[in-house]
């Protein structure tokens, strides 16, 4: 029984329906747009993928001084090394520009790529700089 409504379906179908509906609504980003996982070269193996919750995106927005719509963190194993790609969607080009200025003040320009309202931020140790360049070039060519 859910909130006084008795479900007549038994077992798996009802559970799957409830899970699907809750996942659909829990993954909504601010403004309804969701950052998708970047398409990287075949030898970049995904080890984790995380869509940042809307409340956390809103908090990040305030700290960075730019409007953010959605953020996704994807970690890859590339030839035994860890490279993280953060995909950040802004509501408009003005906020994308503000965010780029802020990020460029905090990290190397080579670790950032802006394509319209989407910003790709590469994170890794110094030993992955050639891999970051490879990933950046790959995304820039798409």
- Tell me the CA distances in angstroms from 142 to 38, 41, 115, one per residue in order: 10, 11, 10
Per the prediction, the chain carries an average pLDDT of 83
Q: Are the C-beta atoms of residues 119 and 113 closer than 8 Å to each other?
A: yes
Range of the domain at 136: 29-140
Number of independent structural domains in the chain: 1
For residue 3, is it within any domain?
A: no
pTM of the prediction? 0.76
Q: Which pLDDT tens digit goes with each residue over 107-127?
A: 999 999 999 999 999 999 989
For residue 14, is it within any domain?
A: no
For residue 44, is it within any domain?
A: yes
For residue 81, is it within any domain?
A: yes
For residue 19, is it within any domain?
A: no
Q: Are the C-beta atoms of residues 64 and 13 closer than 8 Å to each other?
A: no
- Residue owning tokens 């990287």: 40
For residue 13, is it within any domain?
A: no
Query: If you average pLDDT over residues 31-58, what whole number do you get?
Result: 90
Q: Which pLDDT tens digit goes with each residue over 15-41?
A: 433 333 333 334 444 455 788 888 899
Cα gap 97→117, rounded to integer Å = 8
For residue 5, is it within any domain?
A: no
Q: Which pLDDT tens digit goes with each residue over 70-105?
A: 999 999 999 999 999 999 999 999 999 999 999 999
For residue 21, is it within any domain?
A: no
Residue 49 dihedral angles phi and psi, to the nearest 5°: -145, 125
pLDDT of residue 77: 97
């Amino acid at each position: 029984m859910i909130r006084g409504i008795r479900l007549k379906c038994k077992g798996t179908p009802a559970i799957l329906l409830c899970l699907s509906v809750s996942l659909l609504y829990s993954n909504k980003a601010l403004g309804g747009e969701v950052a998708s996982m970047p398409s990287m070269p075949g030898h970049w193996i995904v080890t984790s993928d995380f869509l940042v919750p809307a409340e956390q995106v809103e908090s990040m927005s305030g700290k960075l001084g730019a409007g953010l719509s959605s953020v996704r963190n994807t970690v890859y194993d590339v030839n035994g090394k860890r490279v993280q790609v953060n995909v950040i969607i802004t509501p408009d080009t003005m906020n994308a520009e503000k965010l780029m200025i802020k990020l460029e003040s905090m990290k190397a320009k080579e670790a950032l790529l802006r394509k319209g309202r989407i910003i790709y931020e590469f994170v890794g140790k110094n030993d992955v700089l050639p891999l970051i360049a490879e990933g950046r070039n790959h995304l820039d060519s798409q």
